[in-house]
């Protein structure tokens, strides 16, 4: 029995000896000295402690400040140990040590004191986190952090930001930080800060200048008003460029939709009202490829380009062999028959797939936008569609100018009878030309799937516009189709904001009617049988 007290005393000493290194390690860690002032009840002292953490350069600073902002940095009541709560649910919370970030087991919420913050400290923490991001290795992250500071700089962040500017190599980051400091100076009533903000298109800068323009200081108000007027001129120019870009992207879609129609119309002289449904088939091919390759939208889209061309081309051959070859020379009957084919194709898609619209996933490399400046950004999907339309146009020009098929197509277009007399098989040319034009319509559908939902009525939205492009540009002329498509796209985009979508189309239609009265053969008239007929 005498040995038991000695054993317990030895065990207690051993525990104390084991705990001493941990306590000593916590006291020796400089992070403990940084965190201790946060436990004070004074918000002013907490603010000073936050500044000390920022200036310390400690690698753990970001995690401490994030935990403090999220209410997860807490202190053990008895030991004074700082921990970060992993999940604050239930009675016992899993925590990690705030110094080592190693698992510290579970602690009762009654054992912990939460380090409270007010709105002022919350704003200080948000700014502090942004300052810490300014030291990131990636330039993109530093730029985002600098942009986030615009309008959120207070007196405590001025010196840290100036220190970052002195050591920053990227000119864009320096420019953004200087603007952030200038906004702070402007809010303090310094008129000289307007010069540093003049010409910037950033929304935060314009907001600060707008507030300054209502200042009671006449010098400050006049300088801010003048800067705003200059910025507004630049914004107007950027809005005009954005309208031009959207018009060109819309025009590129019209070019893709109309260029195949221009070829077949020029060769065969018939009006194919099912051309819109060929566009629809190309769009549904893209959707089907994504169903076959789930999770790989980029690969599915690339494979959809040849697949959409082939599907639409085969459908075009069936339409030409099954309907149009029996109606040559009778354009009205061709129009009515192909209109019936378009209704059949629409109903076939509704029955086999669904009457509901289907969405096609845009690949990551086509998502987002290209920011040229803070007032102008170009959406990548439209930029890719515009480039794709130009590539398709260039490929068709090569086919028409550098291949035997192109030579025969031009011959049949200009004089079918003479082409037959020279040994050209006009029927074969009709089939191949219709397949080519239908295939290009399928490519238009692939492109449209990246801009809008895919549905049975997709092609109907573009068939009338396609005919207007063909007539305006000149029947059978590829250059005319390109110029007309891009022109009508820009005109539509310019008119829509003040006239509305429907009235804008009416204005364009009236313009084309008046234009045809003066130039019945379009901008670039095609010589030969098609033009003369």
What's the rounded Cα separation, in Å, for the pair 438 and 459?
13
pLDDT given at position 267: 66
pLDDT of 313 strictly over 90: yes
Helix (H) or strand (E) holding 84: strand 82-85
Partners of residue 94 on adjacent β-strands: 106
Instruction: Return the HEC string of 330-350.
Output: CHHHHHHHHHHHHHHHHHHHH
More reliable by pLDDT, 135 or 334: 334
pLDDT given at position 530: 43
**Chain centroid, CA 348 distance in Å:** 34
The answer to whether the beta carbons of residues 180 and 162 sit under 8 Å apart is no
Query: Tens of pLDDT along 145-204?
Result: 888 888 878 777 788 788 888 888 888 888 888 888 888 888 888 888 888 888 888 888
pLDDT given at position 157: 77
Query: Tens of pLDDT along 470-526?
Result: 888 877 678 888 888 898 888 888 888 777 777 888 888 888 888 888 887 777 766
The answer to whether the beta carbons of residues 413 and 475 sit under 8 Å apart is no
What's the rounded Cα separation, in Å, for the pair 237 and 235?
5
In our burial notation (b when 16+ CB lie closer than 10 A, e otherwise), range 328-360 reads beeeeebeebbeebbeebbeebeeeeeeeebeb
pLDDT given at position 24: 43
Q: Is 425 left (phi over 0), alpha (psi -120 to 50) or beta?
A: beta
What's the rounded Cα separation, in Å, for the pair 294 and 299?
10
What's the rounded Cα separation, in Å, for the pair 322 and 171?
65
- Work out the number of other CB atoms within 10 angstroms of the CB of residue 52: 16
More reliable by pLDDT, 342 or 426: 342
pLDDT given at position 289: 93
- Find, among 99, 405, 378, the residue nearest to 249 by Cα: 378
Render 382-393 in DSSP notation, one character per residue.
HHHHHHHHHHHH
What's the rounded Cα separation, in Å, for the pair 427 and 418?
14
Triad 171, 177, 182: Cα angle to 5°: 125
Q: Is the pTM of this model over 0.85?
A: no
pLDDT of 59 strictly over 80: no
Kindly list the structural domains of the chain, giving each domain's residue range(s) and its CATH number in brackets, ordered by start: 28-119 (no CATH), 237-357+385-528 (1.10.3470)
Partners of residue 333 on adjacent β-strands: none
Residues 6+ apart with CB under 8 A from 374: 200, 201, 202, 203
Per-residue confidence at 25, pLDDT binned at 50, 70, 90? very low
What's the rounded Cα separation, in Å, for the pair 445 and 441?
6
Partners of residue 92 on adjacent β-strands: 108
What's the rounded Cα separation, in Å, for the pair 338 and 318?
12
DSSP one-letter code for 525: P
Among the listed ranges 92-96, 267-271, 525-529, which one has the minimum average pLDDT value?
Answer: 525-529
What sign results for the dihedral spanned by CA atoms 385, 386, 388, 392?
positive
Triad 94, 95, 97: Cα angle to 5°: 160
pLDDT of 9 strictly over 50: no
Triad 471, 509, 276: Cα angle to 5°: 60
What's the rounded Cα separation, in Å, for the pair 531 and 529?
6
Residues 6+ apart with CB under 8 A from 322: none
DSSP one-letter code for 105: E
Burial class (CB in 10 A: 0-12, 13-18, 19+), 244: middle
pLDDT given at position 28: 63
The helix, strand and coil proportions of the chain, stated in percent and rounded to the nearest 5, come to 70, 5, 25
pLDDT given at position 476: 67
pLDDT given at position 439: 92
Query: Tens of pLDDT along 68-110?
Result: 888 888 888 888 888 988 887 777 888 888 888 888 888 887 8
């Amino acid at each position: 029995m005498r040995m038991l007290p000695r054993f317990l005393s030895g065990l207690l000493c051993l525990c104390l000896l084991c705990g001493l290194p941990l306590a000593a390690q916590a006291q020796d860690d400089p992070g403990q000295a940084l965190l201790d002032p946060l436990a004070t009840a004074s918000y002013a002292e907490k603010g000073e402690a936050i500044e000390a953490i920022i200036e310390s350069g400690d690698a753990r600073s970001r995690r401490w400040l994030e935990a403090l902002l999220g209410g997860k940095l807490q202190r053990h009541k008895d030991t004074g140990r700082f921990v970060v709560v992993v999940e604050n649910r239930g009675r016992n919370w899993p925590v990690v040590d705030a110094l080592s970030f190693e698992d510290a087991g579970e602690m009762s919420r009654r054992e912990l004191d939460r380090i409270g913050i007010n709105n002022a400290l919350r704003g200080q923490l948000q700014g502090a986190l942004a300052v810490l991001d300014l030291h990131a290795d990636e330039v993109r992250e530093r730029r985002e952090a600098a942009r986030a500071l615009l309008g959120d700089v207070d007196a405590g962040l001025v010196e840290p930001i100036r220190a970052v500017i002195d050591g920053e190599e990227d000119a864009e980051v320096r420019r953004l930080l200087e603007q952030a400091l200038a906004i702070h100076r402007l809010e303090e009533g310094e008129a000289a800060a307007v010069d540093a903000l003049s010409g910037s298109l950033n929304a935060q800068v314009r907001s600060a200048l707008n507030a300054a323009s209502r200042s009671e200081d006449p010098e400050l108000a006049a300088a801010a008003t003048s800067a705003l007027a200059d910025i507004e001129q630049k914004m107007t120019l950027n809005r005009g460029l954005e309208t031009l870009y959207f018009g060109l992207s819309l025009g590129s879609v019209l070019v893709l939709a109309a260029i195949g129609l221009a070829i077949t119309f020029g060769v065969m002289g018939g009006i194919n009202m099912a051309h819109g449904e060929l566009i629809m088939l190309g769009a549904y091919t893209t959707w089907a490829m994504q169903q076959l390759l789930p999770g790989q939208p980029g690969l599915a889209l690339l494979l959809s380009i040849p697949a959409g061309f082939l599907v639409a081309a085969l459908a075009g051959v069936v339409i030409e062999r099954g309907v149009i070859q029996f109606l040559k020379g009778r354009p009205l009957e061709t129009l009515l028959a192909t209109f019936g084919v378009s209704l059949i194709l629409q109903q076939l898609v509704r029955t086999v797939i669904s009457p509901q619209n289907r969405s096609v996933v845009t690949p990551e490399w086509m998502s987002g936008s290209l920011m040229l400046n803070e007032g102008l950004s170009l959406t990548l999907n439209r930029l890719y569609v515009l480039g794709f339309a130009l590539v398709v146009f260039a490929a068709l020009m090569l086919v028409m100018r550098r291949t035997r098929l192109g030579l025969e197509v031009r011959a049949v277009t200009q004089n079918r009878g003479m082409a037959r007399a020279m040994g050209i098989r006009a029927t074969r040319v009709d089939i191949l030309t219709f397949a080519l034009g239908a295939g290009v319509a399928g490519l238009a559908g692939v492109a449209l799937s990246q801009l809008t939902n895919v549905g049975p009525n997709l092609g109907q939205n573009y068939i009338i516009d396609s005919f207007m492009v063909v007539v305006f540009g000149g029947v059978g002329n590829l250059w005319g189709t390109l110029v007309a498509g891009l022109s009508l796209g820009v005109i539509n985009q310019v008119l829509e904001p003040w006239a509305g979508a429907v009235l804008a189309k009416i204005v364009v239609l009236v313009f084309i009617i008046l234009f045809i009265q003066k130039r019945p053969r379009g901008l670039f008239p095609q010589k030969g049988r098609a033009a003369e007929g």
